[in-house]
Amino acid sequence: MKNTLNKVPCAEVNNYSRSDDFMRECKPQKKARFTAQFPYMSIRIFVTGGTFDKEYNEITGQLFFKETHLPEMISRSRVTPKVEVSTLMMIDSLDMTPGNRMLIAEQCNSVLENQIIITHGTDTMSVTAAVLAEKVHGKTIVLTGAMIPYKFGSSDGFFNLGCALAFVQSLPPGVYVAMNGRYFDWDNVRKNRQTGQFEELS
C-alpha cells in the first residue's frame, strides 16, 4: 500500500499517527517576532534643561547649566533597554519660547524611536505637553523633571526618570507627564505651586 501520509494536510493531524515524516512535513510556521510591529525599540531621551540638570555655584549661590547628567544617571540606573540621549537645549522652562517648543515637536517627529522621554522644567511642562499632543502623533511621549537638581543628591529626578522609563514602555501612544510617582494625561495635569506637586485638574 502506497504511503500517502506526507500528502495529508496539517489540519488533519489528529486523524493520523504522528510519524517523523509527517511532523517534518507539518512543521508550524514560526511566530512573527514582536519587533516586526515595532522595528525600532530603543528609547529616545531629549534633554531641554530645567531644574533636573541645574548645577549650584557655591560662590555666588546661583543655579546654572553646564551639561546634562542624563548619561551618568542612565549608567548608574543599569537599565537594559537601549537608550539614546540627545540634548536639544539647556534652559529654564520659564524661558522656553514657542520656537523652542516647535523644535522639540520637530525632533520628536523626526527620530525613528516611538518611545520618547523629555526632561523639562516643571513650571511650563504642561504647556509643552499640549504642543506635543497637537503636533506629534503615533508615539508615546513622557515629560518628566525634578523639583531639586540631580547634583544635590536628594533630588527626586532619579526617581522620576525611572518612572518615566517604565511609563514610556507601557503606555499607549500619547503625551503624558510623569511626576511624583504617577503619570498624567497631557490635558489633565497642573503643577500645584503651593505643594510643589503635580495633580489632576479634576
86 pLDDT above the threshold of 80: yes
33 pLDDT above the threshold of 70: no
Q: Which residues contact residue 200 at a Cβ distance below 8 angstroms, ignoring those fewer than 6 apart?
A: 184, 188, 189, 190
**Residue matched to cell numbers 520656537:** 99
More confident residue, 74 or 28: 74
pLDDT band at 55 (very low <50, low <70, confident <90, very high): low
Q: For the packed helices 70-77 and 157-170, what is the interaxial angle rounded to 10 degrees? A: 70
32 pLDDT above the threshold of 50: no
| SS3 at position 77 | helix
d(CA 163, CA 73): 13
Burial of 161 (0-12, 13-18, 19+ CB in 10 A): buried
d(CA 31, CA 19): 24
Q: What is the pLDDT of residue 174?
A: 97
12 pLDDT above the threshold of 50: no
pTM of the model as a whole: 0.73
d(CA 151, CA 80): 24
d(CA 155, CA 137): 32
Report which residue type is found at 50.
G
d(CA 148, CA 58): 16
